[in-house]
């Protein structure tokens, strides 16, 4: 029972939040006259001393004390004597842990938001550098149309922006304080829950004591946002894994985020990116674990809920590592833009531009233009040349309505420049989006393209 019941090995991570909530609680007890002013001051001073010890030496793991709450109260009693027993007036470990855990998750959301901001800053910086760097755009991992590297990187900026919005939404929803709900029914002491909520930076107290101690939606919200964010990071990591492979050769990864082989000296393995890709599975697993834990619990508190913290702690740690790794990779990678441009030319990526030209300049219905273009691509493939290297006579033999103006539309530069619709890949549009993003991130607006 001692081994299955103790949570101190993992919930010691909540010590800062436990100290903060306890100080807010005892200050309120003193203001309300529930404990004397002298005892309140003595307890607050003792809590500061306990915090200093934890900061210097870590939290001791005495499994007989079960958790961080009893560990702190026990040490407080050793320091200040019997007055320590008054700290737990009008509260329970049920509302105490619900408050501590919310505070921890709220702090983690703030750290994650800052980390995502840094990732976005790296993305927009590199996107600005490569607003006109041409690469193949893919569907089904087959060359589709030319795009710019800046446009590609800005797609991940948008993903990170949605991730930040999800974390922000989760923070708003969770910012209600459970402290004072006690075990499950509230308390008969004349406490001021609004005061403790304000002292801890919450928007106000929770409205139902049963829900207060049994709610873990805030933890699930965090994990859901973390899982979605990890999927985006995994996609970006996969891009770097593919791009760094010799058949692609689009990027050279920084040495600091790569490893060598134990027997093959030529290898430079994208291990950091692969681990980010792998971490996403573990983070989704953490979400699943807590969802299953919570799915059938009757009101109010059950001991199953002690298992709420390990998956959140694990996911938060993995997500922080993943964001940091991908931020470094984006910032420090060397993009091989000539290789990218060459790949865009090899895949007949401007075929759609030929079809569009036939529609605009020759008035041909798109389906017919599509068929004509297919014939042109087949001819170019048979000769091993790009579309813009076919002779005008060859194109006119396929359809007499083609004229020399078509060649202005068939280069990869012309292709990307033509796609200047809002959100398109044209360099001018990419630079607009980069400028907007830099303003949104609070970065200097002026950049060198």
The per-residue DSSP string of 295-363 comes to: TTPPSS--GGGGGGHHHHHHHHHHHHHHHHHHHHHHHH-EE-HHHHHHHHHHTTTTHHHHHHHHHHHH-
Q: Annotated catalytic, 140?
A: yes
DSSP state of 245: S
**Burial class of residue 442 (count of CB atoms within 10 Å of its CB; 0-12, 13-18, 19+):** exposed
Question: Is the separation of the CB atoms in 107 and 125 below 8 Å?
Answer: no
Residue 436 host element (H or E) = helix 427-441
Q: For residue 269, how many other CB atoms are within 10 A of its CB? A: 15
**Dihedral pair phi/psi, residue 444, rounded to 5°:** -55, 135
Phi, psi of 400 (to 5 degrees): -65, -15
| Active-site option among 45, 165, 245, 261 | 261
- Give the predicted TM-score (pTM) of the model: 0.91
User: Of the listed 140, 262, 421, 422, which one is catalytic?
Assistant: 140
The tens place of each residue's pLDDT in the chain, 449 residues long, gives: 988 999 999 999 999 999 999 999 999 999 999 999 999 999 999 999 999 999 999 999 999 999 999 999 999 999 999 999 999 999 999 999 999 999 999 999 999 999 999 999 999 999 999 999 999 999 999 888 899 999 999 999 999 999 999 999 999 999 999 999 999 999 999 999 999 999 999 999 999 999 999 999 999 999 999 999 999 999 999 999 999 999 999 999 988 887 766 566 566 789 999 999 999 999 999 999 999 999 999 999 999 999 999 999 999 999 999 999 999 999 999 999 999 999 988 767 788 888 988 998 889 999 999 999 999 989 988 988 888 888 889 898 998 898 888 888 888 898 899 899 999 999 999 999 999 999 999 998 765 44
HSE (side-chain half, CA atoms, 13 Å) at 347: 22
Within 8 A by CB and 6+ apart from 237, the residues are 273, 274, 276, 277, 322, 325, 326, 329
Q: What is the DSSP string of 68-91?
A: HHHHHHHHHHHHHGGGGGGGGTT-
Specify the residue for token string 């020399």: 404
Our CA angle for 115, 116, 117, nearest 5°, is 90
β 251-252/334-335 pair status: antiparallel
Torsion angle of the four alpha carbons 114, 119, 120, 123, in this order, in degrees rounded to the nearest 10: 170
The predicted structure's pLDDT at residue 57: 97
Instruction: Let me know: does 31 contact 87? Beta carbons within 8 Å.
Output: no
Query: Which phi and psi angles does 226 have, rounded to 5°?
Result: -65, -40
Q: What CA–CA distance (Å, rounded) separates 160 from 157?
A: 5
Classify residue 285 by burial, with Cβ atoms within 10 Å: 0-12, 13-18, 19+. middle
Residue 165 annotated among the catalytic residues of the structure: no
Instruction: Give 14's DSSP letter.
Output: G
Residue burial 244-254, b: 16+ Cβ < 10 Å; e: rest: beeebebbebe
Query: What distance in Å separates the CA atoms of residue 211 and residue 189, rounded to the nearest whole number?
Result: 20
């Amino acid at each position: 029972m001692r081994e299955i019941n103790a949570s101190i090995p993992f919930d010691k991570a909540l010590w800062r939040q436990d100290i903060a909530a306890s100080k807010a609680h005892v200050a309120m007890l003193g203001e309300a006259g529930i404990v004397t002013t002298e005892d309140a001051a003595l307890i607050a001073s003792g809590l500061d001393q306990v915090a200093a010890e934890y900061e210097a030496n870590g939290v001791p793991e005495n499994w007989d004390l079960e958790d961080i709450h009893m560990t702190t109260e026990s040490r407080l009693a050793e320091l200040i004597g019997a007055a320590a027993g008054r700290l737990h007036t009008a509260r329970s470990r049920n509302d105490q842990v619900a408050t501590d855990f919310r505070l921890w998750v709220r702090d983690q959301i703030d750290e994650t938001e800052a980390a995502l901001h840094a990732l976005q800053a790296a993305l927009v910086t590199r996107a600005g550098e490569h607003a006109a760097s041409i690469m193949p755009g893919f569907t089904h991992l087959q060359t589709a149309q030319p795009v710019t590297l800046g446009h590609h990187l800005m797609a991940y900026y948008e993903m990170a922006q949605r991730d930040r919005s999800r974390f922000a939404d989760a923070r708003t929803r969770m910012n209600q304080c459970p402290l004072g709900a006690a075990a499950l029914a509230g308390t008969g002491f004349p406490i001021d829950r609004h005061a403790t909520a304000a002292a801890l930076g919450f928007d106000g107290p929770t409205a139902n004591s049963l829900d207060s101690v049994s709610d873990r939606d805030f933890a699930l919200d965090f994990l859901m946002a973390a899982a979605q964010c990890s999927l985006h990071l995994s996609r970006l990591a996969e891009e770097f894994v593919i791009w760094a492979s010799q058949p692609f050769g689009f990027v050279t990864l920084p040495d600091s985020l790569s490893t060598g082989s134990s027997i093959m000296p030529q290898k430079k393995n994208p291990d950091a990116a692969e681990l980010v890709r792998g971490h996403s599975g573990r983070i989704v697993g953490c979400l699943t674990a807590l969802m299953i834990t919570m799915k059938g619990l009757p009101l109010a508190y059950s001991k199953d809920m002690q298992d709420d913290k390990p998956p959140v702690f694990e996911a938060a740690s993995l997500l922080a590592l993943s964001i940091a790794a991908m931020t470094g990779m984006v910032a420090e990678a060397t993009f091989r833009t000539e290789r990218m441009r060459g790949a865009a030319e090899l895949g007949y990526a401007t075929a759609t531009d030929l079809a569009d030209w036939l529609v605009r300049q020759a008035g041909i219905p798109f389906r017919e233009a599509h068929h004509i273009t297919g014939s042109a691509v087949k001819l170019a493939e048979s000769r091993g040349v790009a579309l813009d290297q076919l002779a005008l006579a060859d194109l006119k033999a396929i359809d007499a309505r083609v004229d020399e103006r078509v060649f202005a539309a068939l280069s990869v530069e012309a292709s990307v420049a033509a796609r200047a619709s809002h959100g398109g890949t044209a360099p001018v549009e990419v630079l607009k989006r980069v400028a907007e993003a830099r303003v949104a991130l609070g970065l200097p607006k002026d950049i060198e393209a």
